[in-house]
Structure 1
Amino acid sequence: MTTTPTIAVLGVGNILLTDEGIGVRIVDELQRRYSLPEHVLALDGGTAGMELLEPLEGLDKLIIADAVRVGQPPGSVVLLQGDEVPKFFRTKISPHQIGLSDLLAALELTEKAPKAVALIGLQPVSLDTGMALTPEAEAKVPEMLELVLAELAKAGVVPQAIEGIA
Structure 2
Amino acid sequence: MRVLVAGVGNIFLGDDGFGPEVVRVLQQEQLPAGVQLVDYGIRGVHLAYDLLEAWEALVLIDALPPSGKPGAVEVFELEAERDDSTARFDAHSLDPNSVFSSLRALGGTAPRTFVVGAHVESVDEGIGLTPQVQAAVTGAASVVIGLVRSMAADAATADQGA
TM-score range normalised by the length of the shorter chain: 0.7 to 0.9
* Corresponding residue of 2:43: 48
Structure 2 alignment gaps of length 5 or more: 154-162
Which residue matches 1:68? Answer: 64
Secondary structure of the residue aligned to 1:74 is coil
Find the aligned partners of 1:38 and 1:78 in 2 and give their Cα distance. Answer: 25
Q: Which residue of 2 aligns with 1:92?
A: 90
Q: What residue is the counterpart of 2:156 in the other structure?
A: none
Please tell me whether residue 142 in structure 1 is matched to residue 154 in structure 2.
Answer: no
Tell me which residue corresponds to 1:152.
Answer: 148
SS of the residue corresponding to residue 95 of structure 1 reads coil
How far the C-alpha of 1:154 sits from its partner, in A, is 2.0
Q: 1:138 to 1:70 in 2, by over 3 A?
A: closer
Deviations 1:118-158 (A, max 9, x none): 0011110111222111111111111111110121022116x
**Pairs within 5 Å for 1:24-39:** 24-32=20-28, 34-37=29-32, 39=34
Q: CA deviation at 1:101?
A: 1.5
Gaps of 5+ in 1: 158-166
Q: Which amino acid aligns with 2:119?
A: Q
Deviation of residue 37 (structure 1)?
4.7
Provide, for residues 69-103 of structure 1, a one-character-per-residue CA deviation record: whole Å limited to 9, x for no partner: 16212221111113188523266321212xx3122
SS at match of 2:102: helix
Displacement of 1:40: 1.4
Aligned length: 149
Partner of 1:126: 122
Aligned CA-pair RMSD: 2.3
**Structure 2 Cα separation of the partners of residues 10 and 68 of structure 1:** 15
Partners of 1:108 and 1:118 in 2: CA distance: 18
Give the SS at the match of 1:132: coil
TM-score of the superposition, structure 1-length normalised? 0.79
Q: Percent identity?
A: 28
8 Å contact kept, 2:40–2:46 = no
Other-structure match for 2:110: 113
- SS of the counterpart of 1:156? helix
Give the letter for the 2:42 counterpart: T
Distance in 2 (CA, whole Å) between partners of 1:102 and 1:25 is 22
Of the structure 1 ranges 128-137 and 70-79, higher mean CA displacement relative to structure 2 is found in 70-79
Q: Indicate yes or no: 2:67 matched with 1:79.
A: no
